[in-house]
Amino acid sequence: MRRHAFLMAFVFTTISFGLQLSSSGQSPATTAQENTAPARFAYGGNAAQNPAAFIGNLIFLPVRIDQGKPLLFELDSSASATSVDPSYAPNASTSANSGAFVPNCVLALPGVQLPMRALTVAGKKDFGLQMGMPYYGTLGADFFDRLVVVVNYLRQTVQLYDPATFAYSGSGKSFPLTFAGTAPLIRAKFELSGHKSLEANFEVNTALDAAIVFSSAYTEARRFSSVRFKTVASSYPQLDGGAKIFLGRLKIFQLGPYVVEEPAAAFSQSNPSKGSDPTLAGAIGAGFLRRFTVVFDFPHQRMILEPNLEFNKFAEEDMSGLSIVAKGANLRTFEIVRVQPGSPGAAAGIHEGDIIAGIDEEPAADITLNAVRDLFRQVGHKYKLVIERNGKTQEVVIEMKRLV
């Protein structure tokens, strides 16, 4: 279905863009190639409105496998195949070439059905830890290849269209997409303080909560120096497995006519893996895409961007300096796995291994991990945290302060 503008193998494991499939011997791309039957819309139509769930900047759509119960599948433009977690895979089979898969099933979303000759079975390691919610499945390349997906980040809606009849009539700008393997790439310009303006390809990744992430292979090849622009050491559980990254702000980031000033960007510090492409700058995630209504039209190798009211909003990052994961049976045990030196979290006396048991009189059992992260983006706010340490509790006060 696609013409690949890049013939080289796409190997980009420098940074964990979203949450990768756990290794189970399967070849998702192999099974995805079998899923080419057109989508079937209800009542002979050509469009469907989907009741999506937006969690942070990420998107989850309700999916039924045949007549099963609805499960929230993550919308992932970078995933090589649609897949389901092994715990929710009915009648799974295995083969030497493609590993575990569900044969000849139908994915049913509200108003549209997708026939699947082979649905990949694969889990996502540490998804619950990093996201604070269970993992059920992913809508990947063989989903995007058969539909036009329109995401309105401001209104938090998703529409699905038949690509054979879809016609865009809005005021947005159309951008050509190229593909490295199944990964969509878009051309962007950017500028850092102390460096000249550059232009490069970026992967478009709806499952990346961050705004812009640069690979270490690219920054090392270009000899970027953090000394010449302000950065702070940080870590996100979702990036590089929670290893240290540098967080800073670009002077500008530009897609066609759309120029965003001072967007936040993460710079990987991982050692470039063998085969990493130093010409691929990194990834644009949902933290940046949320400034637009986005039309993902992979069948016609394009993406359309239409700015929304958030376009010029200054994006705040986590102010706490705390890297937090969710544990426990209900994913409501919030453990501190890293404390950035010199941050508000360090000033409050919070240690690695501490548990956040409550925030401002509200117990952790009534809070989600995403809600905690949202609170910690509120510059100038003070919170009273109940901390558990070595079986004892204590109260600390943390004041959010802009780090970059």
Residue of higher predicted confidence among 301 and 26: 301
Given the candidates 2.30.42.10, 3.40.640.10, 3.40.50.1370, 3.40.30.10, the CATH classification of the domain at 322-399 is 2.30.42.10
- Give the pLDDT of residue 172: 97
- Alpha-carbon distance of 381 to 394, in angstroms, equals 20
pLDDT beyond 70 at 356: yes
- Alpha-carbon distance of 362 to 365, in angstroms, equals 8
Residue of higher predicted confidence among 246 and 372: 372
Q: Which amino acid is at 326?
A: A
- Alpha-carbon distance of 244 to 226, in angstroms, equals 14
Q: How confident is the model at residue 159 (pLDDT cuts 50, 70, 90)?
A: very high
The CATH fold assigned to 1-315 is Cathepsin D, subunit A; domain 1 (2.40.70)
Q: For the residues 270-289, what does the mean pLDDT come to? A: 83
| H helices present in 272-332, as ranges | 286-289
The structural domains of the chain, with segments of one domain joined by +, span: 1-315, 322-399
Q: How confident is the model at residue 30 (pLDDT cuts 50, 70, 90)?
A: low
Q: Which of 169, 108, 187, 177 is nearest to 143 (CA)?
A: 108
- Alpha-carbon distance of 272 to 268, in angstroms, equals 9
pLDDT beyond 80 at 373: yes
| H helices present in 272-355, as ranges | 286-289, 344-347
- Give the pLDDT of residue 97: 65
pLDDT beyond 50 at 10: no
- Alpha-carbon distance of 293 to 154, in angstroms, equals 7
Q: How confident is the model at residue 240 (pLDDT cuts 50, 70, 90)?
A: low
pLDDT beyond 70 at 32: no
Residue of higher predicted confidence among 182 and 243: 182
- Give the pLDDT of residue 315: 85
Q: For the residues 38-65, what does the mean pLDDT come to? A: 95
All residues at 6 or more sequence positions from 167 whose CB lies less than 8 Å from its CB, including other chains: none
- Alpha-carbon distance of 353 to 218, in angstroms, equals 34
Q: For the residues 382-403, what does the mean pLDDT come to? A: 94
pLDDT beyond 80 at 183: yes
Highest mean pLDDT among 15-19, 201-205, 215-219, 244-248: 201-205
Q: For the residues 218-247, what does the mean pLDDT come to? A: 74
pLDDT beyond 60 at 24: no
Residue of higher predicted confidence among 377 and 59: 59
- Give the pLDDT of residue 397: 96
- Give the pLDDT of residue 271: 66
Q: How confident is the model at residue 125 (pLDDT cuts 50, 70, 90)?
A: confident
Q: For the residues 287-316, what does the mean pLDDT come to? A: 96
Going by the DSSP 8-state scheme, the letter that residue 87 receives in this structure is: G
- Give the pLDDT of residue 168: 96
pLDDT beyond 60 at 20: no
Share of the chain above pLDDT 70, in %: 86
Residue of higher predicted confidence among 278 and 111: 111
Residue of higher predicted confidence among 34 and 382: 382
Q: How confident is the model at residue 228 (pLDDT cuts 50, 70, 90)?
A: low
Adjacent-strand bridge partners of 359 = 362, 385
pLDDT beyond 60 at 26: no
Share of the chain above pLDDT 90, in %: 67
- Alpha-carbon distance of 384 to 362, in angstroms, equals 10
Adjacent-strand bridge partners of 385 = 359, 396
Examine domains 1-315 and 322-399 and report if their fold is the same: no
- Give the pLDDT of residue 221: 86
